[in-house]
A and B are shown apart, each in its own frame.
Chain A
Amino acid sequence: MAEAGKIRVLIAKPGLDGHERGARVVAYGLRDQGFEVVYTGLRQTPEQIVNAAIQEDVQVIGLSVLSGAHLTLTGKVIEKLKARHADDILVLVGGIVPEGDMTALRDMGVAGIFTAGTRISAIADFIRSRVSQDSRV
């Protein structure tokens, strides 16, 4: 199913937050940039997201949260990735993340945080640099 050479990304909306403009724009944008993108749609549990990531064999998960529940939900996704030995998947977070929470997210293992005003090309460059780098190991 996966196209050869393309980096595979899952864009996911954890929790009950219904603001999906950012998630959809990033999904369209990364697809335009040559990535293979799967979008989960709204209201996914961390369990569902990790299952989808493993099933779709993605290298990157982009979590979009605008409800203030980013610490809890991101923590759960990463915990479940570890439990399934899938923590080589790069986890990114987008949405409304107050500066004071960024260190906590990075400490959990989030590779990149992208808030309002980010260019999609910047996200794409970041993924390319990290994924090629990781796969060389």
Chain B
Amino acid sequence: MDDNYRKKLKEAVAEWEEKVLKPRVKRFNLPESPTRFYTPLDVKDDVFLSKVGFPGWYPFTAGNNPFDFWRAYAGDAARMGYRPDWGGAGKVGKYGGFGTPADYRDYLLRMQSMGRRGGPNIAFDLVTQCGYDSDSLHAEGEVGRVGVAVDSFRDFQIIYEAYTGDLDIDKVPSNYTINAPAAVVIAMYACLAKKRGIPLEKLEGTPQNDILKEFIARGTYIYPPGPSLRLFRDTCVFITKHMSALNINSIGGYHIREAGATRVQDLAFSLANGIAYLQAGIGGGLAVDEFAPKFTFNAFGGSMEIYHEIAFQRAARRMWARILKERFGAKDPRSMMIRQPITAHIGCSSTTLQRPLNNLARAVVGGIAAGMSGGIPGAFPPFDEPLGLGHSLEAVQLQLDATRIMIYEAKVTDVNDPWAGSYFMESLTDQTEEAALTEMEKIEKMGGAVVTIENGYMQRAVARSAFERQKLIESQKEFVVGVNSFTGPNEIEVSVNRVFEATYDPALMKTAEERQKAALAALRRERDGNAAASALKTLKEKAKDETANLMPPICDCVERDATLQEICDVMRDVFGEAEPMKL
């Protein structure tokens, strides 16, 4: 922009403000305008090539690709009547898990007989996620709830009895929502391949393996942050060297936001965690381009503020790309991309228990934000999410149809990064990036992600933000429809039919704990106890040596039927346990 034009523009803006904006604001007796209008003055000069670029080009602001893979098949998918909730052929299956391994295996076989494809995408119960066995004192009442119980390699193999032939582990990917004991589960996966004679490098899938965010949100940590990161390093190196098709982690901004973080905190903390993982890999002797392409992110996002969420996606992609290139010296563009299954979404905490059908409208807003920021416009979550009773068939149908309507009828995804070049969106993207960079510098000055988790800075910041948000809602500075506003006598509850898939059998759930404990007792009786004890002893020795990679000794423990808790306990002895944070 030449100086003359800039001068003219400034004059025009001043004139418009004086003659049009101010009288309007005055007429309604407002202290300031409730809306904003952006002009070329809000964007710095000549930034298109360096800051936006093209989809698939550094710094990936406009997206990782000219179009996402699903877009190539969108027409065929519609003609075939493809249902993504059933899992795609040879691809990621539906997330789930309950009861004992046999209960879950039988359920999976039943679903497969009804046509479901896709690999295991396993939810583990909290007992497993926290590194306990089903007969532990901490397990009471929790075995087989919120996920399947896995105490041993034997249990793991029982689940995989549902994955043979066309669905064998060299043909479908495995996904594991597991963090603190991720090393043990990855070892089980490797040992299973060995037992089936499948080369490790054929194994695909994603372990969540994002332990740092467990301290900030979600809470399934075991060891203090330092040793936890060492275990991450060991998995990162082992996967890179032996399981090269497997993703290393799934870094979760989503959970941090759901725990109450602001958008800026979410972005800064997630990327700070990402940096810690990159440093761990490099500390393990890897070159950045060897392993960074196998990092993934788990659905960054989580608010109703559609413009901000689009800007957030654009800023996140640019920031990560620059961190990788400028700070870590990555050369491979795949190292620089934020790979995530979906982009923007509203997050479950944006849904309301009050008048729950409204959540469909909310999810569509998230879907539009996703579609406009390089993702599939998923109307997530189903409207009955906050009822806590599982998703009804109706809610899932409405969710899928809303997504289809956005793709096929509204054609939301026919333009890549439709906001590129918008004075407003570029300005908002810059602001988001700057604010997150400032927060990241603060974290860096304090010593990085591990230190700011150890001293509770990140946890407290998130909790304070959650409280601030609650205060804004209670004081009606922010509005949530049907919760703190529009709740008068003329509003009505809209009741909805809720029919369930015959999924997890309540009768099985009731007896799962008892049956799983019996199976565990049988394992302890039948295994070679000395072999297990000796493998655990070796693991303990290796754990004390910070330079040792623990994956090989953990694999030995797994193969000798040491239990998940026995393996975790050995490391608890050496690493200690993380203390829960007070206020």
Contact indicator B583/A96 (Cβ below 8 Å): no
Q: Which of A24, A40, A72, A115 contacts B463 (CB 8 A)?
A: A24
In the bound complex, residues from chain A placing their C-beta under 8 Å from that of B583 are 24, 27-28, 37, 39
- Which of B126-134, B417-425, B442-450 interfaces with chain A? B126-134
List A98-137 residues whose CB lies under 8 Å from chain B.
98, 115-117, 119-121
Asked whether B38 is an interface residue with its Cβ less than 8 Å from the other chain, the reply is no
Contact indicator A117/B138 (Cβ below 8 Å): no
Check A43/B580 contact, CB under 8 A, given A15-B126, A19-B218, A68-B146: yes
How distant is B211 from chain A, measured CB to nearest CB, in Å? 12
Contact indicator B126/A120 (Cβ below 8 Å): no
In the bound complex, residues from chain B placing their C-beta under 8 Å from that of A21 are 258-260, 349, 463, 466
How distant is B475 from chain A, measured CB to nearest CB, in Å? 10
Complex: A13 Cα to B367 Cα, angstroms: 34
Contact indicator B466/A67 (Cβ below 8 Å): no
List B462-479 residues whose CB lies under 8 Å from chain A.
463-464, 466-467, 470-471, 474
Contact indicator B140/A72 (Cβ below 8 Å): yes
List A58-108 residues whose CB lies under 8 Å from chain B.
66-69, 72-73, 76, 96-98
In the bound complex, residues from chain B placing their C-beta under 8 Å from that of A45 are 137-138
Check A16/B352 contact, CB under 8 A, given A24-B583, A28-B463, A41-B581: no
Query: C-beta contact mask, B268-307 vs A, less than 8 Å → 1, else 0?
Result: 0000000000000000000000000000000000000000
Kindly state the interface size class of chain B when it binds its partner. 35 or more
Contact indicator A17/B126 (Cβ below 8 Å): yes
Contact indicator A16/B389 (Cβ below 8 Å): no
Asked whether A42 is an interface residue with its Cβ less than 8 Å from the other chain, the reply is yes
In the bound complex, residues from chain A placing their C-beta under 8 Å from that of B580 are 40-43
Q: Which of B140, B220, B387, B470 contacts A18 (CB 8 A)?
A: B220
Contact indicator A116/B353 (Cβ below 8 Å): yes
Q: Which of A20, A28, A45, A115 has the most CB of B within 10 A?
A: A20
Q: Which of A29, A67, A116, A120 contacts B142 (CB 8 A)?
A: A67
Complex: A117 Cα to B358 Cα, angstroms: 14
In the bound complex, residues from chain A placing their C-beta under 8 Å from that of B165 are none
Q: Which of A24, A39, A43, A68 contacts B145 (CB 8 A)?
A: A68
How distant is A88 from chain B, measured CB to nearest CB, in Å? 25
Contact indicator B141/A72 (Cβ below 8 Å): yes
Q: Which of A15, A24, A39, A96 has the most CB of B within 10 A?
A: A24
In the bound complex, residues from chain B placing their C-beta under 8 Å from that of A68 are 145-146, 388
How distant is B428 from chain A, measured CB to nearest CB, in Å? 26
Complex: A15 Cα to B259 Cα, angstroms: 18
Asked whether B529 is an interface residue with its Cβ less than 8 Å from the other chain, the reply is no
How distant is B408 from chain A, measured CB to nearest CB, in Å? 33
In the bound complex, residues from chain A placing their C-beta under 8 Å from that of B386 are 96, 116
Contact indicator A15/B582 (Cβ below 8 Å): no
Contact indicator B146/A25 (Cβ below 8 Å): no
How distant is B457 from chain A, measured CB to nearest CB, in Å? 15
Contact indicator A25/B466 (Cβ below 8 Å): yes
Complex: A117 Cα to B137 Cα, angstroms: 33
List B323-350 residues whose CB lies under 8 Å from chain A.
349
In the bound complex, residues from chain B placing their C-beta under 8 Å from that of A120 are 470, 474
In the bound complex, residues from chain B placing their C-beta under 8 Å from that of A15 are 126, 141-142
Check A18/B214 contact, CB under 8 A, given A41-B580, A98-B387, A117-B352: yes
List B421-456 residues whose CB lies under 8 Å from chain A.
none
How distant is A61 from chain B, measured CB to nearest CB, in Å? 16
> Chain B binding site: helix, strand, loop or mixed by DSSP?
loop
> Chain A binding site: helix, strand, loop or mixed by DSSP?
loop
In the bound complex, residues from chain A placing their C-beta under 8 Å from that of B142 are 15-16, 67, 69
Q: Which of A37, A42, A97, A119 contacts B219 (CB 8 A)?
A: A42
Contact indicator B145/A19 (Cβ below 8 Å): no
In the bound complex, residues from chain B placing their C-beta under 8 Å from that of A42 are 219, 580-581
In the bound complex, residues from chain B placing their C-beta under 8 Å from that of A121 are 474
Complex: A29 Cα to B483 Cα, angstroms: 18
Which residue on A lies nearest to B386, using beta carbons?
A116
Which residue on B lies nearest to A24, using beta carbons?
B463
Which residue on B lies nearest to A14, using beta carbons?
B141
Check A117/B467 contact, CB under 8 A, given A67-B126, A98-B389: no
In the bound complex, residues from chain B placing their C-beta under 8 Å from that of A98 are 387-389
Contact indicator A96/B388 (Cβ below 8 Å): yes
Asked whether B354 is an interface residue with its Cβ less than 8 Å from the other chain, the reply is yes
List B180-238 residues whose CB lies under 8 Å from chain A.
214, 217-220
In the bound complex, residues from chain B placing their C-beta under 8 Å from that of A18 are 126, 214, 217-220
How distant is A50 from chain B, measured CB to nearest CB, in Å? 15
Contact indicator A115/B582 (Cβ below 8 Å): no
Contact indicator B582/A39 (Cβ below 8 Å): yes
Which residue on A lies nearest to B470, using beta carbons?
A25
Complex: A69 Cα to B218 Cα, angstroms: 16
Complex: A121 Cα to B145 Cα, angstroms: 33
Complex: A98 Cα to B146 Cα, angstroms: 15
List B108-160 residues whose CB lies under 8 Å from chain A.
126-127, 129-130, 132, 137-138, 140-142, 145-146
Q: Which of A41, A67, A115 contacts B146 (CB 8 A)?
A: A67
List B383-420 residues whose CB lies under 8 Å from chain A.
386-389
Which residue on A lies nearest to B467, using beta carbons?
A28
Complex: A120 Cα to B472 Cα, angstroms: 12
How distant is A31 from chain B, measured CB to nearest CB, in Å? 8
Contact indicator A16/B353 (Cβ below 8 Å): no
Complex: A15 Cα to B146 Cα, angstroms: 13
Which residue on B lies nearest to A11, using beta carbons?
B583
Contact indicator A117/B129 (Cβ below 8 Å): no
Complex: A42 Cα to B126 Cα, angstroms: 13
Complex: A19 Cα to B462 Cα, angstroms: 13
Contact indicator B145/A69 (Cβ below 8 Å): yes
The 9 closest A-B pairs by CB, nearest first: A18-B219, A41-B580, A72-B141, A16-B126, A96-B388, A24-B463, A42-B580, A28-B467, A116-B353
- Chosen A-B contacts, 10 in total, with CB atoms closer than 8 Å, are A16-B142, A16-B220, A21-B349, A24-B583, A25-B470, A40-B580, A43-B138, A43-B219, A69-B141, A73-B141
Known contacts A21-B259, A39-B582, A67-B146; can you find 4 more A-B pairs with CB under 8 A?
A15-B141, A25-B470, A40-B582, A43-B130
